[in-house]
């Protein structure tokens, strides 16, 4: 029997991007995986997301409420309305399998799979499993992991560490991925530093970089390209004193990764996975308020593997970053080694391997 597959990818870009990557493979390889139809189930507020505007399959929109901020009597009523709509939508499309990418927005699709006994697969992007994974893993046939998880799940479920699925438009054109000898050549006059605060931007990172650029030694050796996030672009431009290239948002990230020699970023699973396939060393500054502090664990895993350094701080003090950069100025071979470690951790074929894990007979 051919499967009609729902990919529940709502919430943030960290859930949407790997979901789109799986959809690309399923659409391209329908016959191989015995799939008839593929749909993405996502929140209505994500309609302007570029990945979903150019999705490889039909996107089914829903508006399930987030529990936070709603009173206990109101939430069940609002949820039930949306869930009934989900049931009708899925039945019309004869859904037989659900892939949950995590986040509260995947709950209606996962609940549908459980109640109507459809196949359920889960993807976990982070080292600390999210609530969706922890609560519903026992109902899943298989669980695909991006990284080793810190604490094993308390329920028996088949798991496999594969890597975070990456969209085709981000995958490097050359499967050699990075010519580390050229990229991290100590004879280069400058080192290109790409700064990524995530889809919403990060004021802390932006300000830390602006202060870092005021160091005269760093301004001579390092060039900065800062992706501020749309909402923080104007204020960052006004504060900038040095020659940084400041960009609000980039739909096509591949040229930026190809330009970079080093990335300073939050430690969301998606950004880390993309940096890894480009063989990029990283300075990771975890978002301290992420659920279960999962960004801290993601960063520490990559640091332990020798591909990154971590700055655990909520301040804009540039001192730790300045120290790392000046150390690399006098010891560029360390950057090269970190880039090689980054490449070693990567899996450019994670999307295909995840789909194969779920649907190979």
Annotated binding site for UDP-N-acetyl-alpha-D-glucosamine: 12-14, 126, 167, 199, 295
Which residues are bridge partners to 224 per DSSP? Answer: 193
Q: Answer yes or no: are the C-beta atoms of 180 and 343 closer than 8 Å.
A: yes
Q: Answer yes or no: are the C-beta atoms of 102 and 130 closer than 8 Å.
A: yes
Tell me which residue of 280, 328, 269 sits closest to 127, measured CA to CA.
269
Q: Answer yes or no: are the C-beta atoms of 133 and 149 closer than 8 Å.
A: no
Tell me which residue of 73, 78, 79 sits closest to 111, measured CA to CA.
79
Nearest-angstrom CA–CA distance, 331 and 36: 54
Which residues are bridge partners to 193 per DSSP? Answer: 224, 262
Binding-site residue ranges: 12-14, 126, 167, 199, 295
Three-class SS of residue 125?
coil
Q: Answer yes or no: are the C-beta atoms of 273 and 124 closer than 8 Å.
A: no
Distance of CA 48 to the CA centre of its chain: 18
Q: Answer yes or no: are the C-beta atoms of 95 and 6 closer than 8 Å.
A: yes
End-to-end Cα, the chain, rounded Å: 11
Tell the residue number behind the tokens 């196949």, with chain if given: 119
Nearest-angstrom CA–CA distance, 136 and 145: 15
Nearest-angstrom CA–CA distance, 109 and 355: 18
């Amino acid at each position: 029997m051919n499967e009609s597959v729902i990919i529940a990818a709502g919430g943030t870009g960290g859930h949407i991007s790997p979901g789109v990557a799986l959809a690309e493979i399923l659409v391209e390889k329908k016959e191989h995986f015995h799939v008839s139809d593929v749909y993405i189930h996502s929140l209505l507020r994500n309609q302007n997301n570029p990945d979903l505007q150019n999705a490889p399959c039909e996107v089914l929109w829903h508006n399930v409420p987030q529990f936070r901020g709603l009173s206990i009597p109101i939430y069940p009523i609002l949820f039930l309305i949306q869930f009934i709509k989900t049931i009708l939508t899925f039945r019309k499309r004869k859904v037989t399998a659900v892939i949950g990418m995590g986040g509260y927005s995947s709950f209606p699709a996962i609940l549908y799979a459980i109640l109507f006994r459809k196949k359920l697969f889960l993807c976990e992007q982070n080292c600390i499993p999210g609530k969706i994974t922890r609560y519903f893993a026992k109902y899943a046939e298989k669980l695909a992991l991006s990284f080793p998880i810190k604490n094993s799940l308390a329920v028996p479920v088949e798991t496999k560490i594969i890597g975070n699925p990456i969209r085709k438009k981000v995958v490097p054109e050359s499967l050699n991925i990075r010519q580390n000898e050229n990229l991290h050549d100590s004879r280069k006059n400058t080192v290109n530093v790409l700064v990524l605060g995530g889809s919403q931007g990060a004021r802390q990172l932006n300000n830390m970089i602006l202060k870092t650029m005021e160091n005269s030694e760093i301004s001579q050796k390092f060039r900065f390209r800062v992706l501020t996030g749309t909402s923080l672009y104007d204020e960052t431009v006004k504060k900038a004193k040095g020659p940084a290239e400041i960009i609000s948002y980039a739909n096509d990230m591949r040229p930026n990764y190809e330009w970079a020699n080093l990335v300073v970023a939050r430690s969301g699973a998606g950004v880390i996975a993309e940096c890894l396939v480009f063989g990029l060393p990283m300075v990771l500054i975890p978002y301290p308020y992420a659920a279960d502090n999962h960004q801290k664990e993601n960063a520490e895993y990559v640091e332990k593997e020798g591909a990154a350094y971590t700055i655990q701080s909520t301040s804009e003090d540039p001192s730790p970053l300045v120290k790392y950069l000046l150390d690399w100025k006098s010891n560029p071979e360390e950057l090269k080694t970190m880039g090689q470690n980054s490449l070693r951790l990567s899996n450019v074929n994670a999307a295909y391997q995840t789909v194969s894990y779920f649907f190979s007979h």
